[in-house]
Structure 1
């Protein structure tokens, strides 16, 4: 049963989607079959054959035609079809209302978003890499043009920002905010095996570490040691939390974040202030945790959380009795959404973009930078690779905007012009071959004076 909703009565919204053949793209396209007011007018991906095969599976292929020129694209859309294009060269911006940017590559994604804004088209930014590099400037340009520039619902940054809107609206005092890593740690006490994303290790010591005990820090250290063979931290996590930091004024408590191995019912104790035995040194810290669960227990599903101070003990003991997550001493509570549904939720942002709905403005308060984890020789080409979008030999770190370090994802494809010893930050002057548009927009964003958090479109 599909319930009626006022959004179904909207005028058609014509959408362009980049990275159409990616996992995110498919989840969005699958959903628009149930939201007829959203028209997938232009799909951008070099692999047009792959896009066509996907559309066949979704029952949309009959409307799809390949286009190599803007005039042909405009005609296909005017005739009610879906134009499949390989690059920006064939996009007809005049027939579009919203761009959903999901290609995940900084040079291309920045160019798509900038072109959309130049052509009076709203932008829903799914490519968090682009947002950390050029988001501040792109947002400023969009606002100047009377347009929306919004992070896409369905990915953790926008979901966390949406949850924080509720948290701030009801007046809760925030201590820490963040998300779970993409993949839970699943521990089987019988076998002593610990599994994450299909990789399994022996971790029998976790049997005695399933509760926090009296010393939270000691327990977390021992859990981290037990799980040390698994790669739990990812550049994508730091990227997403940078997107949130730019829109809230929050910052990382430590440049690489804490990444505790935590069970859901422990989050209010773990993310308590240090004076009360928790990890948090500064209010408003952003962080990521690895969700630890047993067989048969529900997943956190890469969801988002906020740890808040409770206030009136009677109120919160009533809520504890109803199953809400509180710290053992009652000072803190954890509000959380255990989900992120990718493109299934992105129609919310497309509607918000057209409506020019209020949203937090990104500010140049945090830079996702790169710190060498080994000696990097002159001549090395830095490349973002793999599922987690990482640069080999460089760790992502979240720093204040005063740093001279280059933005992590701006470095994709750049060549080192000097040796960078292990432990040093990589600066723009250390490389050549930066994408000119992304570089200039990053500099433009950093030159804008950070201000107190406000809400614009």
Structure 2
């Protein structure tokens, strides 16, 4: 029976999946637009730091006020309505919630919410890739110990990439490379909230007339979001990040199998089984033909001459040898697709992609020469961008992760292009997010040391 049919059955039997959403921003709002249209789903609560803003989001996506007028979670659960609250911890602890969605985008908040979900044994859909990359391997272990599912969010690119990787491996194909598309030029790494709109081509009038967050937009442009998403994919799929960071080659869908193959065979990969992001722009700014700016892909290899012949017989676009081919999805609908994760957990007891190991990390890297006494302003800001690297390299370099590079004061100068190190900053080791991250580093450092001694 399909997931939809089983959701319909739950609706008919009066036992819907009871969901609590934390964060009513863009991703959360997209899910809010679809949740009432999905049989067998009851969004019992929406938690947000600003309940009035959350209510505005509900109205904007088409909810009538009476639908979110419940004064308590208990009343919402009983009446089939929704409670809007600023008490996320209380929502997670509620016996009227089965699945929690974290769509906050705050690394510290995401870590806190997952730990609370472990405590109260609530499944978690982690939209918050920032938190997942910062401490996901640690949180995944805690979730497993608690007997809950810790899942990527369907609709977001990491989960869709993980789906393609799982498809290929399940039918016996080796994944050579997997990733996504984006708009990229090398100059973007130095972009700041003051320069971001020029790179996007937005006018002052457009910016003034819309709800635009320059630091958030800049985190997509300067490579940080791509690095975070590829670290999440590496950690979920057992793939290896490139040692020197993402290359962002200009590449359209027809050239994926030719470009994303090993160097020895004419491609750009140092090894098989890696992640990469392809650019929709040539280095001179011209658009790439049949670009994958909004999509995801996986490149795989034929294991035999017979399978290679099948690729040709069924029209797959391959490289010149016929051995490498690719599949791709040209679009992702982020929050509109989030219901797949909720249904998968509730109906099948399965995640839609999940962190399994610590293979990739994202280091806070100086955008320009930084001076002692400066305060880091985090993802998408003026001081640092996120650079993807193998987790083992991040440990050796003692790199500060981009998810914690906000409001830390430098003790030392840091040259442009170099990761900021823990020794370069002052920090409060008692802060929950920093404490969890440092515990994870110590745990994996010990495990990597033990593995190396055998």
Same fold, judged at TM 0.5 (above): yes
Task: State the alpha-carbon separation in 2 of the partners of residues 234 and 428 from structure 1.
Answer: 22
SS in 2 for 1:41: strand
Instruction: Quote the residue 1:281 is aligned against.
Output: 270
Quote how far apart the aligned CAs of 1:109 are.
2.1
Q: Could you list the per-position Cα deviations for residues 330-366 of structure 1 after superposition, in whole angstroms to 9, with x for gaps in the alignment?
A: 2311121222121222112112333432655432222
Select the residue among 364, 370, 381 that pairs with 2:375: 381
Residues 1:418 and 2:412 aligned together: yes
Shift of the 168–78 alpha-carbon distance from structure 1 to 2, 3 Å rule, reads: same
Q: CA RMSD of the aligned region, Å?
A: 3.0
Match of 1:290 in 2: 279
- In the TM superposition, residue 321 of structure 1 has moved relative to its aligned partner by 5.8
Using a 3 Å threshold, how does the CA distance of structure 1 residues 45 and 360 change in structure 2: closer, same or farther? Answer: closer
Pick the aligned partner of 2:322 from 327, 330, 341: 330
Match of 1:127 in 2: 128
- C-alpha contact (below 8 Å) 2:126/2:152 kept by paired residues: yes
In structure 2, how many angstroms separate the alpha carbons of the residues matched to 1:296 and 1:330?
A: 23
1:79 corresponds to:
79
Alignment of 1:419-434 (within 5 A): 419-433=413-427
Matched, 1:363 2:352: no
What residue number does 1:212 align with? none
Q: In 2, Cα distance between the equivalents of 1:84 and 1:94?
A: 16
Cα distance in 1, alignment partners of residues 183 and 166 from structure 2: 23
1:297-342, Cα deviation, whole Å (9 max, x unpaired):
8663522111112244565455446442211232311121222121
CA distance in 2, matches of 1:297, 1:38: 41
- Which one has the bigger strand percentage? 1
Counterpart check, 1:306 vs 2:298: yes
**Pairing partner for 1:437 from 429, 432, 449:** 432
Query: Equivalent of 2:401, from 388, 401, 407?
Result: 407
Rounded Cα–Cα distance in structure 1 between residues aligned with 2:354 and 2:56 = 38
Corresponding residue SS for 1:325: coil
Alignment correspondent of 2:206? none
- Report which stretch shifted further, 417-426 or 150-159: 417-426
2:65 counterpart residue number: 61
CA contact (8 A) 1:28 1:344 kept: yes
Please identify, of 164-173 and 37-46, the stretch whose mean Cα deviation from structure 2 is larger: 37-46
Higher helix proportion, which one? 2
Q: Does the CA contact (< 8 Å) of 2:23 and 2:103 recur in 1?
A: yes
Asked if 2 retains the 8 angstrom alpha-carbon contact of 1:183 and 1:196, the reply is no
Could you list the per-position Cα deviations for residues 192-231 of structure 1 after superposition, in whole angstroms to 9, with x for gaps in the alignment?
A: xxx985469xxxxxxxxxxxxxxxxxxxxxxxxxxxxxx9
CA distance in 1 between counterparts of 2:400 and 2:57 reads 37
Question: Take 1:422 and 1:299, find their aligned partners in 2: how far apart are those partners?
Answer: 31
**Structure 1 Cα separation of the partners of residues 288 and 178 of structure 2:** 27
Mapping of residues 32-431 of structure 1, within 5 Å: 32-57=35-60, 58-65=62-69, 72-88=72-88, 91=91, 93-181=94-182, 197-198=200-201, 233-291=222-280, 300=292, 302-313=294-305, 315-317=307-309, 319-320=311-312, 322-354=314-346, 355-357=348-350, 360-384=354-378, 389-402=379-392, 403=395, 404-431=398-425
Q: Are the structure 2 counterparts of residues 110 and 80 from structure 1 closer, same or farther at C-alpha, using a change threshold of 3 Å? A: same
State the secondary structure of the residue aligned to 1:326. coil
SS in 2 for 1:367: strand
Q: Do the aligned residues in 2 keep the contact of 1:401 with 1:446 (CA within 8 Å)?
A: no
TM-score, scaled to structure 2:
0.80
Residue segments in structure 1 that go unaligned for 5+ positions in a row: 185-194, 201-230, 452-457
Change (3 A) 1:395 1:255: farther
Deviation at 1:96, TM superposition (A): 0.9
Q: 1:5 to 1:60 in 2, by over 3 A?
A: farther
Query: What secondary structure sits across from 1:260 in the alignment?
Result: coil
Per-residue CA deviations over 1:2-23 (Å, capped at 9, x if unaligned) read: x962222233111111121x11
CA-CA distance at 1:232 after TM superposition = 5.8
Number of residues of Structure 1 aligned to a counterpart in Structure 2: 401
How far off its partner does 1:285 sit? 1.4
1:136-172 CA distances to partner (integer Å, 9 max, x unpaired)? 1211111111111111111011111111111101111
Higher mean C-alpha deviation, range 352-361 or range 166-175: 352-361
Separation (CA, whole Å) in 1 of partners of 2:243 and 2:359 = 15
Alignment CA distance shift 1:85-1:237 (3 Å)? same
Give the whole-Å Cα distance in 1 for the aligned partners of 2:273 and 2:28: 32
Answer with 336-345 or 432-441: which moved more: 432-441
Deviation at 1:427, TM superposition (A): 1.9
Give me the whole-angstrom Cα distance separating, in 2, the residues matched to 1:74 and 1:4: 26
Distance 1:46 1:174 in 2: 41
Q: Could you say which residue in structure 1 is the equivalent of 2:209?
A: none
Deviations 1:13-66 (A, max 9, x none): 11111121x111111111112213121111122332232223224234312137
Residue 280 of structure 2 aligns to a residue in which SS?
Answer: strand
* TM-score normalised over the length of structure 1: 0.79
